[in-house]
Amino acid sequence: GAVVSQHPSRVICKSGTSVKIECRSLDFQATTMFWYRQFPKQSLMLMATSNEGSKATYEQGVEKDKFLINHASLTLSTLTVTSAHPEDSSFYICSASAIGQRNEQFFGPGTRLTVL
């Protein structure tokens, strides 16, 4: 099946710093990428939908100025957590839909962010 990678897999940072997470579709072109956040023992919550070449669409309650999303190419989307705080510590997962396959999303392995 299609492969989605995320980098880094784990990051620890100090409060107030910014962290960038990359999501790449390795063997297909993704017109749409999705960013999810998962708190311990909870389900995935959609943060934003990212379409290549256009601005991301954020879910209600998600601050677009805090969670910057860039989808510059058909294989790469980035999520930047700006001025991170301990409450931003979470597991961030991206997924991607391939061109012509809107019925399915392929998920990345996730990035564990810990803000001290």
Partner 1 sequence: AQSVAQPEDQVNVAEGNPLTVKCTYSVSGNPYLFWYVQYPNRGLQFLLKYITGDNLVKGSYGFEAEFNKSQTSFHLKKPSALVSDSALYFCAVRVTRDNYGQNFVFGPGTRLSVLP
What does the binding site for partner 1 look like in residue numbers (CB under 8 A)? 1, 4, 6, 32, 34, 42-44, 46, 49, 51, 57, 91, 93, 95, 102-110, 112
Nearest distance in Å: CB 83, partner 1: 25
For partner 1, the closer of residues 20 and 112 by Cβ is 112
Q: How far apart are CA 106 and CA 85, in angstroms?
A: 29
CB-based contacts of 92: which residues, under 8 Å, 6+ apart?
6, 21, 35, 36, 37, 38, 79, 110, 111, 113
The amino acid sitting at 116 is L
Nearest distance in Å: CB 16, partner 1: 26
For partner 1, the closer of residues 11 and 108 by Cβ is 108
